A and B are shown apart, each in its own frame.
Chain A
Amino acid sequence: MNSDLVLRFGAGAKVFVVSLFAIVLSLIVFGIFVVLSGVNPLDVYRLMYVGAFGSWFSWQNTLLRSAPLLLTALCTALPAQMGMVIIGGEGAFVLGGLAAAAAGLLLSDMSVPALIVQGAMAIAGMCAGGAVIASAGALRHLRGVNETISSLLLSYICIAVLNQMVEGPMRDPTSLNKPSTRALPDWAMLGNIPGMDIHVGLIFGLLFCLATYMLMFHTTFGFAARMVGGNVRAARMAGLPVGRLILIVTFLGGAAAGLGGMVEVAAVQGRANATIASGYGLTGILVAFLARQNPLIVIPVAILLGGIDASGGLLQRRLDMPDASVVVLQGIIFVILLASESVQEGINLPGWFRGIKPRSSAVAVAEGAE
């Protein structure tokens, strides 16, 4: 186990160094871009630091924004372990939120304890989100429908369902000018982490990332799933239940995003309405790719992107830069990081970084798990 950790660390260090280099390079490219539009890049960097990490307030702002990203990123990252590109996290997120609101309202009317209401909301959210992405997985497995496209289409359909429900059957007649479901009672809402102005959704996200990391990289199940991702035919020949693996992993991914929707309803909005669909699912895709689809690396990447998001307002207010500045930066980081992946192979880190001779990490994990 110990040697496995060292190996893992050595391989991870290389990814880390290359990624860090890519991010620094992206910041430089973005700096050149802002110079061209007449803004001093040093001001930009300073304000981004101030807005994202410069004070306890900024840190909380950053962490709060990263909470939903942790969960929506998993929606892309987990299926990616099986070689599937899912971009429907937004749909799983909104449907999860809608289902959670329905469950929460139903149970809070029956005045059961708060913990049970919240538990039911979480389960409802995860099931709804999971069902969305699992159906993309099932379509892929049963009919060969491309999961990238189908998950995207499902996402549009989910948003339409959300709108139809909150303005139709589930609308609270007193929500006059912003059609919503009824509000959850205060006692049923998720609270903040003690001592911070951040809701417990952050902890859900962190735990989900850790748990799925353990599942995918330290269990036989995870090994089997990743083997399907590596080579479906070989996995079939090895007698792996490919269909079931696909369904479970896509369900898990969708469940993560669905839980994100539940948190949005139970900790932030207090009700379901059209603003649940505000793009967390889309940013989650970016987080997953930047994290190389690794649930553990999702954590720092989500915080980084949460920070970029948090600093966007300051760039607008102080430097009069467009709100899209942060999207441009995100795009640049994304492009450069992808390109850096191929460069990585050719780079040799100094000897002390490398540790033990690399083996296939999958094999190492399998040995560790068995």
Chain B
Amino acid sequence: MSNKLEISRRSLLLSGAVGAAGLAVSSLPFGRALAAGSLSVGFIYVGPRDDYGYNQAHAQGAVALKKLPGVKVTEEERVPETVDVEKTMESMINLDGAKLIFPTSFGYFDPYVLKLAKKYPDVTFMHCGGLWKEGEPDNAHSYFGYIDEAEYLSGIVAGHATKSKKLGFIAAKPIPQVLRNINAFTLGARSVDPAITTQVIFTGDWSMPVKEAEATNSMADQGIDVVTCHVDSPKVIVETAEKRGMFTTGYHANQAALAPKGYLTGAEWNWEALYPSFVADVLAGTTIPHLVRGGLKEKIVKTSPYGAMVGAAARKQADAVKAQLEAGTFVIFKGPIKDNKGNTVIAAGVSQGQTDIALESMSYLVEGVIGSTS
């Protein structure tokens, strides 16, 4: 603590000197002194914010905040998960007077958000990833959505659309969030027809355009006719699939504009609905829970509007399940569920609801998925 005080004293002295030198602090576009009721919010993205994907979804949330009166939003994109993000956050706090920060990439939390949350107790950190644990700083929060609900609905629509009964899923890495999406998608599709299989290809990283295009093509060559993905920017995959005459379901944001012929539906984040509520809470001084989670019911995720090619049967089944999910009466991971090696992973009679901690460490692929987690 004493260390921190000393630093701020020194920085005050220095900025005083700077002011005297003519590069006046007052000339900064927005200094520390903000009018009462106003809030400076910082957004940090790991990739480009117009990527048709993960970062764009968050940036749409930022756009929603910009419309609020008294809220000033600053954004920085393509910030790697290194000391860069620590310094970006600190710079937002020190130079922009940010009181609320959205570090939107999973890897920003540990160690960077944790470190700065301790150092700046009066700043609220809203991290995307759902990582906060008991004992971690009070002003750090982490949220995430049960987007597998939307993936399940996408699976239903895909299950109706496929003719070859073979679906494709292009994913970055075999991590639990990704596996959960693959499994939900597959379970949704197999609820339509248990003969359906999902081929998985892992590209190895979150943004690899040539690999993603190559994976899409090799799926097309294998006779797969509906493809979806979990990578940072689905743009290349959706475009390539459209060229190959495949159907696609989107992810992160709405990619319908990229594939007018093949875009069935998609699993989207609904950050523009969630973020304004965080800001309202911070302004009102209301306590925000450390972990915020939710799915369709809580309006944290949503589905893309159906494409014109989605048939009536598909719409009917998907809408029915969607209504149950919104009412909180539908469980996706409900036993008996076997993995694709034949082991029972969820026993008959066991229902793992969305809040079930077991789902957080999912390490298997369900029956019907072709691929392996290692």
Q: Which residues of A contact B (CB under 8 A)?
A: 46, 49-51, 54-58, 61, 64-65, 163, 167-168, 174, 176-179, 195, 197, 264, 268-270, 273-275, 278-279, 309-310, 313-314, 316-318, 323
Contact = CB atoms under 8 A, between A and B. Distances in A.
A177 to B, nearest CB: 5
A167 B29 CA distance: 45
Given A275-B81, A323-B78, A313 B175 contact: no
- A178, A197, A316 interface centre (most CB from chain B within 10 Å): A178
A61 B90 contact: yes
Interface in B160-209: 173-177, 204-205
Contact of A313 (B76, B107, B176): B76
B82 A314 contact: no
B352 interface: no
Interface in B83-103: 83-84, 87-88, 90-92, 94-96
A277 to B, nearest CB: 10
Contacts of B80: 275, 278-279
Given A54-B15, A56-B7, A270-B111, A61 B87 contact: yes
B11 interface: yes
Contacts of B361: 174, 176
Contact of B14 (A51, A55, A274, A314): A55
A65 B250 CA distance: 38
Contacts of B374: 168
A51 B87 CA distance: 11
- 8 closest A-B pairs by beta carbon, nearest first, are A317-B74, A275-B81, A56-B11, A278-B80, A323-B78, A177-B175, A56-B10, A176-B176
Contacts of B15: 54-55
A197 B11 CA distance: 13
Contacts of A323: 76-78
A176 B360 contact: yes
Contact of B83 (A51, A64, A314): A64
A269 to B, nearest CB: 7
Contact of B82 (A270, A275, A313, A318): A275
B64 interface: no
Interface in B113-140: 129
Contacts of B90: 57, 61
> Which DSSP category, helix, strand, loop or mixed, fits chain B's interface?
helix
Contact of A318 (B7, B14, B29, B81): B29
- A51, A56, A268, A310 interface centre (most CB from chain B within 10 Å): A56
Given A65-B87, A176-B175, A323-B77, A55 B18 contact: yes
> Which DSSP category, helix, strand, loop or mixed, fits chain A's interface?
helix
Contacts of A310: 87, 91
Nearest to A168: B374
Interface in B188-234: 204-205
Contact of B87 (A46, A64, A179, A278): A64
B23 A54 contact: yes
Contacts of B10: 56
Given A51-B95, A57-B94, A314-B95, A177 B79 contact: no
B175 A316 contact: no
Contact of A50 (B7, B88, B95): B95
B44 to A, nearest CB: 9
Contacts of A49: 23
Contacts of A275: 80-82, 107
A309 B361 CA distance: 37
Contacts of B27: 46
B106 interface: yes
Contacts of A279: 80
A314 B95 CA distance: 9
A176 B144 CA distance: 14
Interface in B1-41: 3, 6-7, 10-11, 13-15, 18, 23, 27-29
17 contacts: A50-B18, A50-B95, A51-B91, A51-B95, A54-B15, A55-B14, A56-B11, A61-B90, A163-B204, A168-B374, A178-B175, A195-B6, A268-B83, A270-B111, A275-B82, A313-B76, A317-B92
Nearest to B94: A57
B151 to A, nearest CB: 16
A34 B15 CA distance: 27
Nearest to A46: B23
B82 A278 contact: yes
A168 B374 CA distance: 7
Contact of B106 (A168, A177, A195, A278): A177
Given A268-B82, A274-B205, 6 more contacts: A61-B90, A64-B87, A177-B176, A178-B107, A268-B83, A323-B76
B281 interface: no
A327 to B, nearest CB: 10
A283 to B, nearest CB: 12
Nearest to B43: A317
Given A57-B11, A57-B94, A167 B173 contact: yes
B366 to A, nearest CB: 18
B319 interface: no
B83 A65 contact: yes
A248 B94 CA distance: 45
A325 to B, nearest CB: 11
A165 B233 CA distance: 25
Contacts of B87: 61, 64-65, 310, 313
A289 B165 CA distance: 57
Nearest to A163: B204
Nearest to B74: A317
